Amino acid sequence: MGAGVIKSGGGGGRRRRRGGRRAAPMSEINITPFVDVMLVLLIIFMVAAPLLTVGVPVELPKTAATSLPSDNEEPLTVTVSADGTVMIMTTEVARDDLVNRLRAIATERADDRVYLRADGAVSYETVAQIMGALNAGGFGSIGLVTDIGGPTLDGGSGN
């Protein structure tokens, strides 16, 4: 590894004279260690990326819908857990304070898109109330987050 020395000239087994040419330093760059480090970093990021998802563990209902296109801004996520707890990203929020918090967040964001993650055990009434609070809080584009692979309602299984 590193720099080496290239001997100049042939000449069999003759002895060199003192005034003769000396060995020239090798001017090639060895990139093997650089490639090794880059591959290790790539593997580390590939393993760590799935662990960086923000959210509260909920059992999402399964549907045949496709995912929504994403943009550069991190999406705002509101989660309703099975016990009815409402969370904005990872911060728990009381239901009576939800609209005020959403209005404060809406003034800071350029996008009015919000994703609603509701546990499958949560009643439709609760989900509708949270969607009304999201709309009153200034978010007009509400996306419901589901898992893929659910029924397609055309007789298929969606898998």
Domains, in order of start, for the chain? 5-51 (no CATH), 62-148 (3.30.420.270)
Q: DSSP class of residue 121? A: T
Say what the pLDDT of residue 111 is. Answer: 79
CA gap 22, 86 in Å, rounded: 77
pLDDT tens sequence across 102-141: 898 888 887 788 889 888 888 889 889 999 998 888 888 8
Residue 142 — φ and ψ, nearest 5°? -110, 125
Query: Parallel, antiparallel, or unpaired: how do β-strands 76-80 and 113-118 relate?
Result: parallel
The predicted model gives 24-45 an average pLDDT of 88
Lowest-pLDDT choice from 7-21, 46-60, 91-105: 7-21
Q: pTM of this prediction? A: 0.53
